[in-house]
């Protein structure tokens, strides 16, 4: 199974969700500032990386975990992945798209723009990190919901899209 966490830029909330999923960040407590800043690929993706699906690792069940920044058009990601799956004969149940963007707050948006778009990392990174700490429990809940939606053992079910609004089949 491939789990793809996606958000606007692919630099903060999706990275955090993927690292929580992989057990690199805790589920039971809010990590410290340094833990977030030092996580794999946090605040690294650039605008030129939009649409590029990046492998983050394998979880304990062997699922492949990815991130992608898809700008403000999640429907394009859904359409593209669905179209590619159909064109290449990939079973739609072999991947799950998880939208992390509902957990992005105003502080994260401002910090992300300042850090990634304007290149003022010394100002933007602390803001986006602080915003991520504020919404961290919500991202953990989304990851836990995603994990619960995954089948155990070999996968045989239909392709699900996960969002904070609930499962869509």
Residue span of the structural domain in which 17 resides: 2-105+135-168
- Structural domain includes residue 116: no
Report the pLDDT value the prediction gives residue 133, as an integer from 0 to 100: 96
- 3-state class (DSSP) for residue 24: coil
- Structural domain includes residue 128: no
Residue with tokens 């990190």: 129
Mean pLDDT of the chain: 86
- Structural domain includes residue 110: no
Query: Which stretch of DSSP H or E encloses residue 68?
Result: strand 64-69
- 3-state class (DSSP) for residue 141: helix
Please give the tally of structural domains in the chain: 1
CA-to-CA distance for 69 and 51, rounded, in angstroms?
6
- Structural domain includes residue 118: no
- Structural domain includes residue 126: no
CA 48 to chain centre: 18
Q: Contact, 168 vs 160, CB < 8 A?
A: yes
Residues in the chain with pLDDT values less than 50: 154-169
Q: What is the pLDDT of residues 29-73, one digit of tens each?
A: 999 999 999 998 988 887 778 888 999 999 999 999 999 999 888
- Structural domain includes residue 85: yes
- Structural domain includes residue 91: yes
């Amino acid at each position: 199974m491939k789990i793809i966490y996606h958000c606007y830029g692919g630099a903060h909330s999706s990275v955090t969700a993927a690292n929580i999923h992989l057990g690199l960040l805790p589920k039971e407590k809010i990590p410290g500032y340094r833990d977030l800043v030092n996580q794999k690929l946090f605040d690294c993706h650039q605008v030129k990386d939009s649409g590029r699906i990046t492998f983050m690792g394998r979880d304990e069940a062997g699922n492949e975990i990815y991130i992608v920044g898809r700008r403000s058009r999640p429907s394009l990601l859904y359409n593209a992945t669905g179209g590619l799956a159909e064109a290449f004969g990939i079973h739609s149940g072999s991947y799950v798209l998880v939208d992390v963007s509902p957990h992005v707050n105003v502080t994260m948006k401002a910090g992300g723009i300042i850090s990634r778009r304007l290149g003022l990392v010394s100002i933007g990174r602390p803001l986006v990190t602080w915003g991520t700490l504020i919404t961290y429990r919500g991202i953990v809940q989304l990851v836990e919901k995603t994990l619960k939606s995954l089948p155990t053992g070999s996968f045989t079910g239909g392709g699900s899209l996960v969002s904070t609004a609930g499962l869509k089949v």
